[in-house]
Structure 1
Amino acid sequence: MSFHTSVHISAHREGQLVRLLQGAMVGILVIGLWQGNAGIAVNASVGLLVTFLPPFFERNYRITLNVGIVLWITVAMFLHAFGTLSLPALGFLSLYKSTWWWDHVTRALSSSIVAGVAYAAIRALEEHTEYIVMPPKFMFVYLLLFVMAFGVIWELIEFYVAAVSNLLGIGKVLTQYGLDDTILDLFYNTIGGLLVAIFGTAHLTDLSDQLRMRMESENR
């Protein structure tokens, strides 16, 4: 069952939403450049770049993502980029600074994408070789551990990027708010991985099969 069937949204409508959100991220990027705000510009440009990875893989590697998965990725990237904007309605604060749960939502969404990639890759390897066997319970644990490990690496990246930004005297591209915030970030990263482990694997089977066929074609 595809994503658009389960939530009653047509694939065409999902494609329109993807393009709309990409256009919005272009607008956010322009705002960041106009304001000279490195944080807004970099986050918007990176998010926009990620949304163009699915057509890149389809064009160069013949790996096609379900449009629902593309929408899932695009929504996560848009919410992150939008959260960096300073909004007049919020006293010119960003959603990240003014809304306590915004960071948690974007963390969970982003980590769910990481978990999805991890699942698709290991499932393809499992079907490609007899040396890897991943029973359902072990797959569940693997996804959670992978997301937690990635979360720790990301927190370290945030710390060093913030430190370099301070040394260079440029706007903050990534921000850390202390140890308590880091613990919460890791918790919501785990929530994202948990959601994929419970509900998302059925929607990633087709991607796994394409990765497996790609591996087999390269080994011939």
Structure 2
Amino acid sequence: MAIVLLLRHGHSTANADGVLAGWTEGVGLTDTGRDQAARAAERLSALTVVRAVSSPLQRCRETASLAVPGLQVASDERLGECHYGAWTGRRLADAAKDPLWRVIQDDPAAATFPTSPAHRGESLGEMAERVVAGVRALDAEVEQGHGTGAVWLAVSHGDPIKAVVAESVGAGVSGLQRVRIDPGSLTAVQVTATRMVLLASNTHAGDLSALVARPAEHEAGDSTVGGGAG
């Protein structure tokens, strides 16, 4: 029942070029991305973040080092980007003309990226299962080590964070494309024994303290009837 803050990496060189980076090496942050990570650091500084875990990819590791400079950041492949296979490095403008694009948009649970000699492919369903299971496992470790009120940080990518949000609202991978996660944004999710609960999504500014407050009047996995008193 700890709370995870999911930070999407800042604006990257691949974002600037309009290409799908996937697991390509050497994709780092732009100046804009570094500014976004610095803003995230300001927001996180008011909290006690007990652990930070990052995707192993450079753009996430750079973001993590700027966002939580006082913490040692672990690397975990379960938080890594979707394996886009033959789409890796492809310009998004060109990808939008591929028939697979419509499958990704309209029926993401049926979308699988084709493997290439250089890059393995993965379905969006496999990606979502990997990331959600990873977040659950890491959250359990945090709770065991730091208690149920602990807050920890996961630095990841757009589609993986979208998968966690979709899971937390009960939409699953079918609802993946109904979620927006911008570079440098922070999303708050509480992981309980029964379900994930979305506390806030795609936030760019503001005090995070209220987002990580635990309900006192009912079980953490429940939602207040009527919406709560604020």
**TM-score over 0.5 (shorter chain):** no
TM normalised by structure 2 equals 0.29
TM normalised by structure 1 equals 0.30
Q: Which one has a bigger Cα radius of gyration?
A: 1
| Greater strand fraction, Structure 1 or Structure 2 | 2
| Greater helix fraction, Structure 1 or Structure 2 | 1
Structure showing greater relative contact order (alpha-carbon pairs closer than 8 Å, 6 or more residues apart): 2
